[in-house]
Structure 1
Amino acid sequence: MHNTTYRGSCLCQGVQFEVDQIEPRMAHCHCSMCRKFHGAAFATYGEARKNNFRWLRGEQLLKSYTAKNRSTRRFCQNCGSSLTFAPAKQNDFVEFALASLDTEIKQTPDAHVFTAYKADWYKIIDDLPQFKEGRLTLDR
C-alpha cells in the first residue's frame, strides 16, 4: 500500500475528494455497466478504505444511480463525471474512478475483471491476469 495522500476531482472541479491510502488491488472492469457508465472500453477503479476517503468539496453536487444489480454509481450532476462505485453488498471500501485522480499515482492496475462481457471491438494486449467474472475477495 502507498501512504501518499491523493486528490481527485470531477471535470468541472465542483466535486473534489482526497484519498490517504490506495489499496494494492486496482482493476480494469469490462462489465457492460462500467463500459456504459464511463463511455469507454472499460473502467479502471482504485479502492480505499472508507476511513481513508473524504469528500473535500461539492458533495451536494453528487447524484447517484442504482442499477438493477443494486450497485450504486455516483457522478457529478454538473459535468457528469463518473466518480465512485459501490457494490450491492456494502463493505468497508470505496471504489473510485482512477482517472478522476489529479495527483500522479505510481501504482498500476493489476487485473482485468468481467472480461466475459468486454466490448467485442476491444482487444486486451497486456499481460495482466484476466478474470471472466469478478475476482474472489477472500484475501481481504
Structure 2
Amino acid sequence: MYDGSCLCQKIHYQLTQEPGDFGYCHCVSCRKASGSAHAANAPVMRKNFHLLAGAAELREFESSPGMIRAFCSNCGSPIYAFRTERPELLGIRLGTLDTPFSKQAKEHRYVAEKATWETIEDQLPQYAGPPH
C-alpha cells in the first residue's frame, strides 16, 4: 500500500495498488498544474484509490475538454487527474506520495510544449506528443 497527502495535510489517501509505469509530461497544462517544468504522473485504477480524509477540500477542475484535475482547495496541491473517456484510470501525482516509490520514469511526453528554459539531459525516449 502507498499513502499520500497534500501539502497542508488536510487530504490523505491510500493506494491499494502500486502505481504503474510513468513518464514526465511537459504539456502546458501539466506545467501550470505542477508549477514546474513537468509533472510526474503514474496510473492507478480508481477502485484502488481511497480518500481517507479531506473530501471537503478536494476539488476537480476541467483544465481542457475531457481532462479533469483534482487538487486541494486549501493548499493547491495537485492530487490526481483523469480523462472523462477513462474515468476509471487516475494519474496520481507522484509528488504527493508519502510512501517511498522507487520506479523510474520511462519517457518524456509532449516535449514539443516543454519550457524553453528546461534542458532534458537523460536518455529516456522523448515524444513530441503522447507516446506512440
User: With structure 2 as the length reference, what TM-score do the two structures score?
Assistant: 0.93
Residue of structure 2 equivalent to 1:82: 78
Equivalent residue for 2:5, pick from 2, 9, 12: 9
Distance 2:128 2:19 in 1: 22
Distance 1:60 1:6 in 2: 22
Residue of structure 1 equivalent to 2:39: 43
Q: CA RMSD in A?
A: 1.3
1:55 counterpart = 2:24: no
Aligned residue pairs: how many? 132
What do the CA deviations read for 1:93-131 (whole angstroms, capped 9, x no partner)? Answer: 111100000010111111111111100110111111111
Distance 2:30 2:100 in 1: 23
Equivalent residue for 1:115, pick from 111, 116, 128: 111
1:132 counterpart = 2:128: yes
What do the CA deviations read for 1:51-96 (whole angstroms, capped 9, x no partner)? Answer: 2111111122111110233201011011110111112322431111
Distance 2:87 2:57 in 1: 24
Is the CA contact 1:22–1:46 (under 8 Å) kept in the aligned structure 2? no
Distance 2:106 2:4 in 1: 21
Distance 1:89 1:50 in 2: 13
Provide structure 2 residue ranges, at least 5 long, that are not aligned to the other structure.
none
Is the CA contact 2:17–2:44 (under 8 Å) kept in the aligned structure 1? yes
Q: Rate the CA distance shift 1:25–1:87 in 2: closer, same or farther, 3 A.
A: same
User: With structure 1 as the length reference, what TM-score do the two structures score?
Assistant: 0.88
Which residue identity is paired with 1:21? Q
Question: Between the two proteins, what is the percent identity of the paired residues?
Answer: 33
Q: Rate the CA distance shift 1:20–1:75 in 2: closer, same or farther, 3 A.
A: same
